[in-house]
Amino acid sequence: METISRQTTVAGPTPAGEGRPPRGPEQHEAAPRSPFSALAGALRGRPEVWAFFFLVVLCVGMGIANSHFATSTNFQTVGRQSSILVVLSIGILFVLLVGGIDLSVGGSIAFISCLAAKLSGSTDLYLAFALAVLAAVGIGLLNGLLVSLGGLSPIVVTLAIGQVLVGVALLLTVNGPILPSNLDYGELAASEVAGIPTLVIAAIVCAIVGHLLLRRVSLGRYIYAVGGNEHAAWLAGVPTRLVKVAAYVIAGLFAGLAAVLLSSRVGSGDSSLGQTEMLEAYAAAFIGGVGFGTGRGSVVGVALGAVILGVISNGIDLIGLNTDYQYIVSGTLIVLAITFQALPEKVRWGRGRG
């Protein structure tokens, strides 16, 4: 038997048509793929590429609709509008990747903005910013501990904590928004470096850090593993609970940074900040291809989603439409993005049986 097996192994190539089962009625040569099908196949699983294409088409359309869109001044405006949302969306991404959700982000932004403005009057400005961000990290840690180690519902827990934070912010601003006594408070958001707005630079730095955390650090691999299949990740030795806690802590960090930048931009601490930004951050994440509870998503995707929303908002202002249309458009894009992700792959990419 060994001789026969060895001979079979080392035998020369089988002549065409020999040693093969006869072709059945259902077996046939694959039909040549169209250029579009080939492109779709190459881009399958790369939602950030589709988001980039959509952004390019959107910018071209806005430029045609209004000649003031494609100007350096307006691009700086779009950059400032989008930057804070980019930072916030990156934090949201980490929570979504592990199958969680953080609804305390809106309340956290309101509270942190008030805290930063309050502290700036009694301590060094950047120390006040740092302490405010540290407080946001603590909020993220609390969320993570209650959700992961406490086994509580992330929706209920984070929504409740968000309401508490909004309540505290309302108490701090009972006499109106907190106007910092430090005249340099708004300088962080208004300043530029080599003609580039500081807000844009901050967003780029945060995007790089977020990308490195997800793609170059073990924690990132663990996050994707937990989001893809938590039980399998646990069997493989991944500390799933600690990974979830870390995701909420990172979300808290980015929410704190976004809150400080937003507070500096508006020049005050205000309890009304946060809720709209939170909804837009989730919109940016879904538009950028993040799958809820699927472990799919990237920093590039959510950043592009945030820029898309910034371009839409800016374009609506330039065209002179009612700003309420922004919510209609962003909501429609979310529905389309989620519907596209929910479609079976063969339907999504036009692949049928054959």
| Blockwise average pLDDT, block size 10, the chain, 354 residues | 42 45 49 56 69 90 88 90 96 96 96 95 92 98 95 95 96 91 88 92 97 94 93 94 97 97 94 92 91 84 94 87 78 78 55 47
Residue 254: phi and psi, rounded to 5, are: -70, -35
Give pTM, 2 decimals: 0.83
Q: What is the pLDDT of residue 353?
A: 46
Question: Exposed e or buried b for every residue in 11-31, given b needs 16+ CB within 10 A?
Answer: eeeeeeeeeeeeeeeeeeeee
Quickly list DSSP for 23-44.
PPTT--PPPPPPHHHHHHHHHT
Question: How far is residue 225's CA from residue 223's CA, in Å, rounded to a whole number?
Answer: 5
What are the phi and psi torsion angles at 290 (to 5°)? -75, 125
The CATH class that applies to domain 78-342 reads mainly alpha
Closest by CA to 74, choosing from 281, 319, 276, is: 319
H helix or E strand, kind and range, residue 193: strand 192-193
Q: What residue segments make up the domains of the chain, in order of their start?
A: 78-342
**Tell me, what's the pLDDT at 352?**
47
pLDDT for residue 33: 58
* Identity of the residue numbered 3: T
Residue 125: predicted pLDDT: 92
Give pLDDT, residue 1: 44
The pLDDT value recorded for residue 294 is 74
Q: What is the pLDDT of residue 270?
A: 94
